[in-house]
Amino acid sequence: MELKLLNSSALPNQHAPTEEQKLIKLLQEELRNYEKEVHEAKRLKSSHMNVELLKEKLLEEQGRRERAELELSKLQEIGARAHKLELELASCTALLSNIPDVSSYADIPQKIADLQKQALTYLNEVGEVTSRLKELEVALEYADLSKQQAEGEAALAKERAASATREVKRLELMLTAISEERDKLRKEHATESDQSGMEKTIRELESIIHELKELISHKDTELNIMNERLNLETRKVKSLEREGDQLRSQVALLESKLGHGDYSASSTKVLRMMNTLGVDNEAKQTIEVLQAELKKTKERLQAVEELKGQTDPGTVVDANIAEKLAQLKNQIATLEKREERYKAVFAERISVFRKACCSLFGYKIVMNDQQQSNGIPVTRFILQSVYAQSDDEKLEFDYESGSTNIVVNDYTSQQEIARQVDIYIRRTNSIPAFTANLTMESFNKRSIC
């Protein structure tokens, strides 16, 4: 533009250079001012753009700072959690060091299985002690009953012996009196002529004396028998007293063991989880013993009643037969009540045992009897974990002649369960380890869900 103005100033109107030059200079000045304004405007525009850019950068930096502060708070929380986990790890490590036979986390399932075995052992020991205690109580009651019966028989024998002694003394006095009467008659009739009557009287008196001697001999024999029976009953009473004292001491010892849980390694039987119902067999055996004893007592009572019914009117029946019958009937009633009580006690103990197994080991156990295809009876145990997520998660085991085998079903046919069955049961032959590991996995799944 300046060049155009210069060129225009060089046009033919050169005769008036002064005004045009002034105009040109004025225009040039204005042009310079415009250029300065344009330059200033560009500078202002550039500054404004820089300010906007700085604002954006400032906002971005503020966002970064907020994110950094948030991440810093998260980092602090993570650090606190890491510290807490370190403390828990140290506590678990210290706990593992205090647990015998456990050096790593991999040993925990085996330790749990061992603890399950020990718990079953203790439960079995308590059941055996309780059963033995009940048997000793039954034997003690029977011994007390026998003692009372023997004491009654001994008292009766004493009375009969005393009666026989009195009878012997009476007969001896009678014999003495008759002998004196005979001697007196002999002296009185010594001078009489009727010798035949005197001899007849003497023979009668002698026969009476002979009969009295036989009666005295019989009474002496009966008295000796009574004394022997009395001595026998006395010895029997003393023997029963000693047996009762022994039974009481055994009961007290078993009650003390049952109270504080003594453990005998020599008499303890280790049970597997699939054979946890040994108490049933003991209960059945005890009930069978009681039933056999009850049957024998009933047979004795029936025999005594038949003997009583067949006795002739002239036959002398023992004086205490009614008492014996009453004692036998009372004994039968006592045994029947005891049998019912034992059935109730054993049913309650079995229920408590199953609930304890469920609480301690995490499995509900159902037992039923079945037959194989070849007709051999087996006992099937159905186990369901308390952490099972559906009713189909069941384990089935067949127990027969001391051998336990797992039954394949839809649940055990799953890939993961089948792999565990192969590892724990078929390879290592450890059903407790399999059930313990399955319990831990079910618990973890349920906790995560």
User: By the 8 A CB rule, do 448 and 389 touch?
Assistant: no
DSSP characters over 32-60? HHHHHHHHHHHHHHHHHHHHHHHHHHHHH
Burial class (CB in 10 A: 0-12, 13-18, 19+), 385: buried
pLDDT band, residue 54 (cuts 50/70/90) = confident
Cβ contacts of residue 317 below 8 Å, gap of 6+?
Answer: 308, 311
Q: What is the pLDDT of residue 2?
A: 47
Q: 401 — alpha (psi -120 to 50), left (phi > 0) or beta?
A: left
The three-state secondary structure class of 407 is strand
What is the arithmetic mean of pLDDT over 38-66? 87
Q: Which of 17-31, 172-186, 219-233, 262-276 has the lowest mean pLDDT?
A: 262-276
CB 9: neighbour CB atoms within 10 A? 15
Listed residue (398, 136, 118, 131) closest to 280, CA to CA: 131
Q: What is the dihedral of CA 160, 164, 165, 166, to 10 degrees?
A: 100
User: By the 8 A CB rule, do 216 and 116 touch?
Assistant: no
What is the arithmetic mean of pLDDT over 390-418? 89
| 422 alpha-carbon distance from chain centroid | 30
**What angle do helix axes 321-361 and 278-310 make, rounded to 10 degrees?**
170
User: By the 8 A CB rule, do 381 and 365 touch?
Assistant: yes
Question: What CA–CA distance (Å, rounded) separates 8 from 106?
Answer: 104
157-211 tens-digit pLDDT: 777 777 777 777 777 777 777 777 667 766 665 555 455 555 666 677 677 777 7
Higher pLDDT, 54 or 129: 54
Q: What is the pLDDT of residue 441?
A: 87
Question: What CA–CA distance (Å, rounded) separates 191 from 52?
Answer: 182
Q: What is the pLDDT of residue 275?
A: 40
Cβ contacts of residue 113 below 8 Å, gap of 6+?
Answer: 430, 432, 433, 436
Higher pLDDT, 306 or 87: 87
What is the arithmetic mean of pLDDT over 45-54? 85
Residue with tokens 């009739």, as numbered in its chain: 189
Q: What is the pLDDT of residue 167?
A: 74
User: By the 8 A CB rule, do 409 and 396 touch?
Assistant: yes
Q: What is the pLDDT of residue 269?
A: 43
Q: Which of 57-66, 246-255, 336-345, 368-377 has the lowest mean pLDDT?
A: 246-255
Question: What CA–CA distance (Å, rounded) separates 188 from 184?
Answer: 6
Q: Which two tokens stand for residue 23?
A: 């105009």
CB 414: neighbour CB atoms within 10 A? 13
Q: What is the pLDDT of residue 395?
A: 92
Residue 380 carries which DSSP code? E
Q: Is the pLDDT of residue 291 over 80?
A: no
User: By the 8 A CB rule, do 178 and 212 touch?
Assistant: yes
Kindly report the average pLDDT of the chain as a whole number. Answer: 74
Listed residue (119, 122, 116) closest to 435, CA to CA: 116
User: By the 8 A CB rule, do 274 and 381 touch?
Assistant: yes
User: By the 8 A CB rule, do 111 and 430 touch?
Assistant: no
Residue with tokens 């009473």, as numbered in its chain: 237
Q: What is the pLDDT of residue 267?
A: 46
Residue 426 carries which DSSP code? I
Q: Is the pLDDT of residue 263 over 50?
A: no
Q: Which of 48-52, 229-233, 295-299, 350-354 has the lowest mean pLDDT?
A: 295-299
Q: Is the pLDDT of residue 414 over 80?
A: yes
Q: What is the pLDDT of residue 162?
A: 76
Burial class (CB in 10 A: 0-12, 13-18, 19+), 275: middle
Helix (H) or strand (E) holding 189: none
243-253 tens-digit pLDDT: 767 766 766 66
Mean pLDDT is highest, among 62-71, 179-188, 210-219, 250-259, for 62-71
Q: Which of 42-51, 169-178, 428-437 has the lowest mean pLDDT?
A: 169-178
Q: Is the pLDDT of residue 81 over 70?
A: yes
pLDDT band, residue 265 (cuts 50/70/90) = very low
Task: Using a cut of 0.75, tell me whether the model's pTM lies above it.
Answer: no
CB 347: neighbour CB atoms within 10 A? 11
